[in-house]
Structure 1
Amino acid sequence: MRIRGMLAVAGVALVGSVTAALSIGTPPPPALAESSTPLAASSDDPATGTVGLVAPAARPSRGPHAYTPPAPVTFEPPPAVAEKLSPMPVSLSALGIPELVLSAYRAAESTLAVEQPGCGVTWHLLAGIGRIESGHAGGGRTDAAGTTLTPILGPVLNGSLAGNNVVSDTDGGKLDGDPKFDRAVGPMQFLPGTWAHYAADGNGDGVSDPNNVFDASLAAARYLCSGGLNLRDSAQEVRAVLRYNNSMAYAANVLAWSAAYAGGGTPTPGSIPEVAPEPGKPAEPTPTPGKPAPAVLADAATPAPVAPTPPPLIPGLPALPCLIFCPPAPAVPAAPVVGIAPGPGPAAPPAPAPQSPAPPTPVR
């Protein structure tokens, strides 16, 4: 009985404590007065002159200050691209040809010696053409692979320049950038239409580029050797050079530089042999037997020979001797002796005056 009574008292005490806790509830939150943000002025505050609006807070004063620009953004190309775009240091050979360009000429000669041993194209002939066409790729302004840093383009072949033919576009402007007319491209100045037939890969990179000195030199060598020409013969060599520019003055200039490079000197003016007519070209007409040959006009630029003026002769005096600038003496056995010229003879007597006839004698 005593144990049950103690349990009942403990239960009543527990219920009472729970009820008291529920009646008390959660303690209220801390007063808003402890907040660090001040409240707006109440309506009991004195008027500020503005109805319904709060006075704006004072703005901090601003002064000029130095502006530091951000660091520029730089683009670093991949190593392969950077190496290709970097210019190759130009090293001139003893002939004045950039070493890399000279290597391209020699490589083309070696390749053609294997491909077409009967042609005989030489590196110095290619160098002569490269000297006239582009100054050896603009003085060797190429990258390490031999590609020119900037394209080398000839004039637009639209007929606007004297002596130039009109060549309409053949590549859509892919090589020369002109969709209407063609232009010569690269260090060896290939027209796009000609490059399409003789394109070559001289440096073995898998790309045929007319702006590359190795590719262009090999293509030029094949172009000169086309048609089974033997460039060891001087007449056929001239004919091959005329394919580049159908001008004898151009061919003479190229061959002069070629001979200079071959001998290690400087070009000197010379003459080139006559070129035989191309197959199919009509020869000069043969005169018909029995007819006189056509008259050949003398060259107007060559003056006719002028005979020396003989020394003047004065009647009654011997010939004046020659003292300076004398013509050579004629080859005669003996010079005739010049004497004193005879003076004028005596005057003839005057003719008798006409006489009137005597009057007739009258007949007596």
Structure 2
Amino acid sequence: MTSPRRAAGCGIAAITAVVLAIILVIAIVAWALSAFAPAIVPRNLQPVPEDVPPAVAEAPPLIDVHGPGRTSDQLAQWAQPIADATYIDPQAVRAYGNAELIARDAWPECNLAWNTLAGIGWVETRHGTYTGRTWDQGKLDDEGLAEPPIIGVPLDGSPGFAHIPDTDNGEWDGDSEYDRAMGPMQFIPESWRRYGRDANGDNDPDPQQIDDAALTAANLLCADGRDLSTPEGWRDAVFAYNQSNDYLLKVRDAAGAYAMGQPAVR
């Protein structure tokens, strides 16, 4: 005959196990919510207009973009509240603002706004944080470098991918057989060789460094005398980056959200 005391004890153990399991699930969910807070928007967002080009975000203050060193650091005070509101890494906001100011100086007819660069940065790599692994997000280190470095899949002509044989002998993307997209703004070596620019003052354009990548993206967008203040110019610029209507709409929506001071969610 089973002891009543023993039977009661097993019941308590089972209940305890269930409670502990529930606590563990709650803890995991809480950790996930904390870890992915930038992707989980904890407030009501306003609808984003479908205007092309998207609205222009608050412009960065004028700084000396010809000064020594990492000129984007001069935008720290401007960038921080924008970063807090949009969940963009502050270094990325500074890089986009710095690129806007350099573009305004170098290509004044382009009328490039930093939030268009941010829209592209969001779609491409979530501003340098994408790794392809849900539970292991990347980051920008203190020098603005993607950590770990972001290297795309080999462009070997597989279904859904272009066929681009190696053009850099693996110098930038580590692949001597096929080209791969690189860095926060996802340039292939051939495009980086053509448009790559130094923006952090070390005289070494690096596709993994957010300041350099943002300015290089500005260079590509503004090429061929485009005026991004017009619908045609903005569309042509984004299509020069990626010839896809779905891509254009995602960039438009992200850029529009940033102009409103809220996160991109699409």
Inter-partner Cα distance in structure 2 for 1:136 and 1:247? 20
Secondary structure of 1:193 counterpart: helix
Inter-partner Cα distance in structure 2 for 1:99 and 1:263? 17
Find the counterpart in structure 2 of residue 28 from structure 1.
none
Whether 2:140 is the aligned partner of 1:149: answer no
Give per-residue Cα distances to partners, 1:266-302, cap 9 Å, x unaligned: 5588xxxxxxxxxxxxxxxxxxxxxxxxxxxxxxxxx
TM-score (norm. length: structure 2): 0.64
Whether 2:108 is the aligned partner of 1:110: answer no
Give 2:86's aligned amino acid: L
User: Aligned-pair distance for 1:145?
Assistant: 1.6
Whether 2:259 is the aligned partner of 1:262: answer yes
Give 2:112's aligned amino acid: V
Give 2:224's aligned amino acid: G
| Structure 1 contact 159–165 (Cα < 8 Å) conserved | yes
TM-score (norm. length: structure 1): 0.47
User: Aligned-pair distance for 1:174?
Assistant: 0.7
Inter-partner Cα distance in structure 2 for 1:114 and 1:226? 14
Identity %: 39
Whether 2:132 is the aligned partner of 1:134: answer no
Q: Which residue of 169, 186, 189 maps to 2:166?
A: 169
Inter-partner Cα distance in structure 2 for 1:254 and 1:121? 14
Inter-partner Cα distance in structure 1 for 2:116 and 2:167? 28
Inter-partner Cα distance in structure 1 for 2:215 and 2:263? 25
Q: Which residue of 93, 96, 110 maps to 1:119?
A: 110
Find the counterpart in structure 1 of residue 192 from structure 2.
195
| Structure 1 contact 100–140 (Cα < 8 Å) conserved | no
Task: Map 1:1-364; keep pairs closer than 5 Å.
Answer: 92-138=83-129, 141-160=139-158, 162-266=159-263
User: Residues 268 and 131 from structure 1, CA distance in 2 versus in 1: closer, same or farther, beyond 3 angstroms?
Assistant: closer
| Structure 1 contact 109–121 (Cα < 8 Å) conserved | yes
Give per-residue Cα distances to partners, 1:199-242, cap 9 Å, x unaligned: 11111112110000000000000100000000000121011101
Structure with the greater relative contact order (CA < 8 A, sep ≥ 6): 1 or 2? 2
| Structure 1 contact 101–140 (Cα < 8 Å) conserved | no
Secondary structure of 1:136 counterpart: coil
Give 1:129's aligned amino acid: I
Inter-partner Cα distance in structure 2 for 1:200 and 1:230? 20
| Structure 2 contact 93–118 (Cα < 8 Å) conserved | yes
Inter-partner Cα distance in structure 2 for 1:172 and 1:198? 18
Inter-partner Cα distance in structure 2 for 1:213 and 1:245? 19
Coordinate RMSD, CA, aligned: 1.6
Secondary structure of 1:242 counterpart: helix
| Structure 2 contact 184–207 (Cα < 8 Å) conserved | yes
| Structure 1 contact 187–211 (Cα < 8 Å) conserved | yes
Secondary structure of 1:159 counterpart: coil
Inter-partner Cα distance in structure 1 for 2:233 and 2:97? 21
User: Residues 127 and 246 from structure 1, CA distance in 2 versus in 1: closer, same or farther, beyond 3 angstroms?
Assistant: same
Structure 1 consecutive aligned stretches of length 4 or more whose deviation exceeds 4 Å: 266-269
User: Aligned-pair distance for 1:163?
Assistant: 2.3
User: Aligned-pair distance for 1:117?
Assistant: 0.6
How many residue pairs get matched?
Answer: 178
| Structure 1 contact 134–187 (Cα < 8 Å) conserved | yes
Secondary structure of 2:85 counterpart: coil
